Copies of this chain bind each other. A is one copy, B any other.
């Protein structure tokens, strides 16, 4: 079940990377690079930081090939993919919650404290998107989109995993993922916004 959701989340991230490449007018290789980096970049940064080398994604051949396939399909059928905005929003949120929670788990295994675990989780969730934006020549969207609680939702979810993990590892994973999803989705509904600097 978790495994199936990880594949799904990875594909949605690959798709978001490929779409960015299409939007930028990159060639096929550029689109596939952005798909791959967005899909496996966050988890790979986390693996480097906690010392899991090579990063797991780099040794997971079926996942890598499927990511390339998603990139190829997005390259070919991008107008239809872009039209799926609403379901993609929810799948992306699901992927974010799941990756943040799983990343937090790896941080706990590596002996990190609460702040470190929250960072490891958030990096797993948003690191691929940050690399995508940097490669595309843009300021990472997580740094300024006050009205969409994205990285903050991932931080919260990872923190929830840290707190609940001693009670039940599986329960913590579930609660952490849901915390991220709820904060993002209801934050949007309720119009929650992060503050921006005054003046």
Contacts and interface: CB of A to CB of B under 8 A. Distances in A.
Interface in A90-140: 110-116, 119-120, 130, 134-140
A115 B50 contact: no
Nearest to A64: B115
Q: Which of A65, A68, A79, A195 has the most CB of B within 10 A?
A: A195
Contacts of A137: 138-139
Interface stretch (A4-12, A144-152, A163-171, A181-189): A144-152
Given A64-B116, A139-B135, A144-B24, A53 B51 contact: yes
A73 interface: no
A194 B119 CA distance: 38
Nearest to A140: B135
B61 A115 contact: yes
A112 B59 contact: yes
Given A75-B197, A140-B135, A114 B146 contact: no
A196 B79 contact: no
A1 interface: no
Contacts of A199: 78-79
Given A44-B49, A53-B53, 6 more contacts: A28-B194, A29-B152, A30-B143, A50-B54, A59-B116, A61-B116
